[in-house]
Amino acid sequence: MRLFLLGGAAALFALSSCTAGASEPPSRIVITIEHSRFEPSKLVVERGTTVTFVVRNRDPIDHELIIGDRAVQRHHEVGRDKHHHGEIPGEISVPAGAERTTTYTFSRPGTLLFGCHLPAHYAYGMRGVIEVD
Amino acid sequence: MVTGAMTVLAAGPALACGGLIAPNGAVNLVRTSTLAAYQDGVEHYVTSFEFAGAGTKFGSIIPLPGVPSRVIKGGDWTLQRLAIETQPEELPVPVALSDGETTAAQSAEVLIEKEIAALDVTVVRGGGDAIGKWAKGQGFNLPPDAPEVLDFYADRSPVFMAVSFDPKRAENQGIGSGDGIPVHLAIPTDNPWVPLRILGLGKQSDERIEADVYLLTDKAPAMLPNPIAEEGLELKQTGPASDLLLSDLRSDRGMSWLPSSDMWLTYLQVDSSAGSLSYDLAVDASGQGEPSEVDAGLARAGSVYVPDDGRAATALAWVLAAVAVVLVIKLANRTIRVSA
């Protein structure tokens, strides 16, 4: 497995190396939350890749990272489950000032979204896109 | 020369002068009015919190230009008298309340705690992150724009007044729906400013912000942004304040510092979307006619100073280089690609 950064500035983002294959450790991507924004907010992942997301919340308020398609995002936007402890891949709550990880395998090509569905956060702009090649 | 300035910010219904921070999304505050007055280097804030009666705890947070030297109960009719002067159709009901002292466990650098009727007033100093965590520790849910807004203010003045309303105390004290509780702060500071951007805290970008701002100065004030040029901030009236108005204000509790004559009244109206209200109102009380861009939130504190001599070109080159670097970073595709 190889890891590509698009754009030289992407080197500014904390991002570890990765390896390939089901038996190899997953890729690792650091997503930073500051001022209720995800950084980076666009990812491209090759089908079959397993990625461990390290989510660093630099805000003094709680956030979460929810990965999934539009139906998943819609479900969380209207749902009442506001605490995600990592049991479900790609869904994790990140308290203020904390760091949490969640691992997700991108098995099918297409476009996925990630966002925070605490009240008003998604509408404020806490969302991103993952293109799965 | 004595320089005096008085600013009154009266928010319309369902609009708060400070950013609301409420647990469970419940906001009972229906109206907040604020008076910020400046005289002999001291800014006087008189803020009235009006609410809709019984309900859950709620609060408001207001950035301040400095650390208050005192926090007391505000006058009973100061805000109302100013409203009568300019908006006779809006007559909030004054309430006689008693002062008191209280303390509460706080996690940030709490400078002042004061119980005023059903309000717990706390002056806190800290950066945006510290203030946010402190508010969170008090049980309030900050809206998603709070981190950025708190940083916006803390970069200039890391002092905030947080006010929480205790509905049980209000009930015990007979404070009912529509009643107001005035709070008066005396804040030593070089120049007054009126926080406006905080009005949009927690609001959608297209939500309207409407507020009335009154200035009383010893001369026609210099303001930034210029209300003539700034969309969303309109100069409605400017001229000498009547001696009757000043006399009425002086007769209220804690208002005797106000000059009895020769003051200039300016009335401005804020009518802006929350997304466009990205500034505060800076007032130059020095007589130099140079309101601060930093106080107005139009420039960051500690911005690069470009000297007006031979070094200017070099400094400008560095600034342009820095801008170019930022643009490169912004324009670069921030996509991270992970492939097999």
Residues B323 and B219 in one domain: no
Q: Is B206 at the interface with chain A, CB within 8 A? A: no
Total structural domains in chain B? 2
Q: Which pLDDT score is estimated for B310?
A: 40
Q: How far apart are CA B37 and CA B215, in angstroms?
A: 8
User: Cβ–Cβ of A45/B132 closer than 8 Å?
Assistant: no
Residues B174 and B253 in one domain: yes
Residue B254's nearest CA partner among B115, B77, B111, B85 is: B77
User: Cβ–Cβ of A48/B128 closer than 8 Å?
Assistant: no
- A27 to chain B, minimum CA–CA distance in Å? 8
Residues B256 and B320 in one domain: no
Element (H, E) at B330: helix B311-331
Tokens 């007006």, residue? B308
- A104 to chain B, minimum CA–CA distance in Å? 13
Q: Which pLDDT score is estimated for A20?
A: 38
Residues B339 and B272 in one domain: no
Backbone angles phi, psi at B246, to 5 degrees: -65, -40
B66-87 pLDDT per residue, tens: 888 888 888 777 777 777 777 6
User: Cβ–Cβ of A119/B25 closer than 8 Å?
Assistant: yes
Q: Is B141 helix (H, G, I), strand (E, B) or coil?
A: coil
Residues B337 and B191 in one domain: no
- A5 to chain B, minimum CA–CA distance in Å? 5
Residue type, B246: L
User: Cβ–Cβ of B338/A1 closer than 8 Å?
Assistant: yes
Residues of B within 8 A of A16 (CB-CB) are none
Q: How far apart are CA B93 and CA B301, in angstroms?
A: 40
Q: How far apart are CA B61 and CA B65, in angstroms?
A: 13
User: Would the pLDDT of A21 be above 60?
Assistant: no
User: Cβ–Cβ of A36/B145 closer than 8 Å?
Assistant: yes
Where does chain B show beta strands of DSSP type E?
4-11, 19-21, 29-39, 42-51, 58-64, 70-73, 99-100, 109-116, 119-125, 159-165, 180-188, 193-194, 208-217, 222-224, 233-240, 264-273, 281-284, 335-339
Q: Which pLDDT score is estimated for B58?
A: 65
Residues of A within 8 A of B150 (CB-CB) are 60
Q: Is B127 at the interface with chain A, CB within 8 A? A: no
Residues B331 and B192 in one domain: no
CA B339, distance to chain mean position in Å, is: 50
Superfamily of domain A3-132: Cupredoxins -  blue copper proteins (2.60.40.420)
Residues B274 and B253 in one domain: yes
Nearest to A7 among B129, B335, B339 (CB): B335
What ipTM describes this predicted complex?
0.76
Residue B330's nearest CA partner among A3, A111, A40, A114 is: A40
Full residue range of the structural domain in which residue B339 is found:
309-340
Q: Which pLDDT score is estimated for A49?
A: 93
User: Would the pLDDT of A38 be above 90?
Assistant: yes
User: Cβ–Cβ of A51/B128 closer than 8 Å?
Assistant: no
A60-95 pLDDT per residue, tens: 999 999 999 999 999 999 877 778 887 899 999 999
* pTM of the predicted protein model: 0.73
* Residue numbers of B between 4 and 33 with CB closer than 8 Å to A: 25
Residues B152 and B285 in one domain: yes
Residues B273 and B332 in one domain: no
As a three-state string, the secondary structure of chain A is CEEEECCHHHHHCCECCCCCCCCCCCEEEEEEEECCEEECCEEEECCCEEEEEEEEECCCCCEEEEEECHHHHHHHHHCCCCCCECCCCCEEEECCCCEEEEEEEECCCEEEEEECCCCCHHHHCCEEEEEEC
Residues B238 and B334 in one domain: no
Nearest to B144 among A36, A46, A58 (CB): A36
Q: Which pLDDT score is estimated for B93?
A: 40
- With a cut of 50, list the residues of chain B below it in pLDDT: 1-17, 22-31, 53-54, 90-106, 304-333, 340
Q: Which pLDDT score is estimated for B269?
A: 83
CA dihedral for B103, B106, B110, B115, sign (positive or negative) = negative
Residue A91's nearest CA partner among A56, A115, A70 is: A115
Higher pLDDT, B301 or A36: A36
Residues B48 and B98 in one domain: yes
